[in-house]
Structure 1
Amino acid sequence: MNFELVFYQYQKMVYNLALQYTQNTEDAEEITQDVFVKISQKLDGFKNESSLKTWIYRIAINTSLDFLKHKNSQKRFFFGLLRDSDHENKQYEPTDFNHPGVVLEQKEEIMKIFGCINMLPNDQKTAVILLKIEGNSQQETADIMNLSQKAVESLFQRAKKNLIQKLNQQKEYEK
């Protein structure tokens, strides 16, 4: 299998998926690079037990989640240092939302929705991203997540319920 062909065929898919997780172009670019480094190292060992697309999705999801976990642990460490060194109390500002194609008027609402999506447990977040943002079918999502279709449907329903709850809480807070 030719790595260059795989790269050109799946680069956009991986980048868009990483962007869904991070809402930051620089982070998405870094994740995309990491994903293709992993793919280049493992491509010869790909055994066709799933489709190539499903395999790449799994790598991209895991890499994105690992990236976010690492980034969050760095933030906690950094804030611990700030607190311990008696610096003035500074509020963390989330990374700019840089999603191409989002109309300026919608940017604030989109940021709120993605903020709530990012608060979901990882499996629910992945189900929402794969089903509704990436537009995969329930069967494709089940294959990518290595779950049954019923489990994916259940995850999505819980995610939807949690999102509605989080968005309503946000509206109450803003009043």
Structure 2
Amino acid sequence: MKYKIILLLTTMTLLMACTGCGKQTRSESLTSTQELEEQQEQDRDADDKKISEETEKVNPANGDELFESSNLNGAVVEITNNGCKITPTYTQDDVAYEAAPGYENQEELITVAYDEDCTFQAAYINLQTNAVTYDAVTISDVKEQTSLAIYGEYDSDNILHASIVFIYEWN
């Protein structure tokens, strides 16, 4: 009888110890999961803020800023495999002009190559307020005679490697 009581107490103690450890581990894992989720949420918020700040830097507030800060403005003359050829828009005394379709000087055309991470956006410029609104577009939206404002860098062969392409329209 004495052994049965000792065996029963030992078994109960052992069960209580195992049960207590199991609950503790579970609450620790829940805490770790909650901390991980909170950290992921903070990271997402930081990423969203960073994207928002980058978009504000990239997307000019008005049409004048869009054209002044771009490397090239013009109309698409020809679509190529990884870019296009553009007839540039020239400005003189606040008047913009470019060659009429079909009358472009081949020597004045500028070759544009889209970088791997090139982004495309539509920029709608209000004629009255000069304010710009933006929409996301894709490379397939670039067609012949589309007006573009392009940000990028020229290489030694005078090819503009575009990082951001704005398809702009006046409304």
- Bin the TM-score by the shorter chain: under 0.3
TM-score under structure 2 length normalisation: 0.23
Question: Greater helix share, 1 or 2?
Answer: 1
TM-score under structure 1 length normalisation: 0.22
Structure index of larger Rg: 2
Question: Greater strand share, 1 or 2?
Answer: 2
